[in-house]
Amino acid sequence: MNKMTLDVKTSSRTQFLDITGKVSKAVESSGVEEGICYLFVPHTTAGLTINENADPDVVRDMLIGFDSIAPQQGDYLHSEGNSPAHIKSSIMGQQKTVLIEGGKPVLGTWQGIYFCEFDGPRQRKLIIKVAKT
Ligand code: ZN
């Protein structure tokens, strides 16, 4: 078992940060060739997704889509003023599991792993656990 906590710095209020390289490095440093990589975001206004990393317009369109689901202005009561971020975080979820084969995360040709910031910019954490199977 290998557990790591990585620092993730986001630079806008809402942002999908491609962390595929960071995750690949973490898997590589674990030395696990065949196994499972578990990713967890310990935050209530951020999340994780695996989606297209070829055309940047996809991420842009997803952010627009999320804004239409939970607009910045609305009939919210939460005094912190970041209810849309909590909603988006819950929709996206805080965890992902990726298989490891040949010492690398198994991803489709067009897939990347994204840290989803919904209330940035902030200094965030990403917990990674790599296990041999
Ligand atoms: Zn809040």
| Residues whose beta carbons lie less than 5 angstroms from ion ligand 1 | 80, 82
Asked whether the beta carbons of 53 and 110 are under 8 A apart, the reply is: yes
Residue count (the chain): 133
Binning pLDDT at 50, 70 and 90, where does residue 1 land? Answer: low
> How many Å apart are CA 6 and CA 125, to the nearest integer?
6
113 alpha carbon to ligand 1 midpoint, in Å? Answer: 25
If phi > 0 it is left, if psi is from -120 to 50 it is alpha, else beta; for residue 13 that is alpha
Q: What is the pTM (predicted TM-score) of this model?
A: 0.96
Hey, what CATH class is 2-132 in?
Answer: mainly beta
97: pLDDT strictly greater than 80: yes
Domain residue ranges of the chain, discontinuous segments joined by +: 2-132
28 alpha carbon to ligand 1 midpoint, in Å? Answer: 35
Task: Write out pLDDT tens, residues 12-63.
Answer: 999 999 999 999 999 999 999 999 999 999 999 999 999 999 999 999 999 9
Task: Write out pLDDT tens, residues 102-118.
Answer: 999 999 999 999 999 99
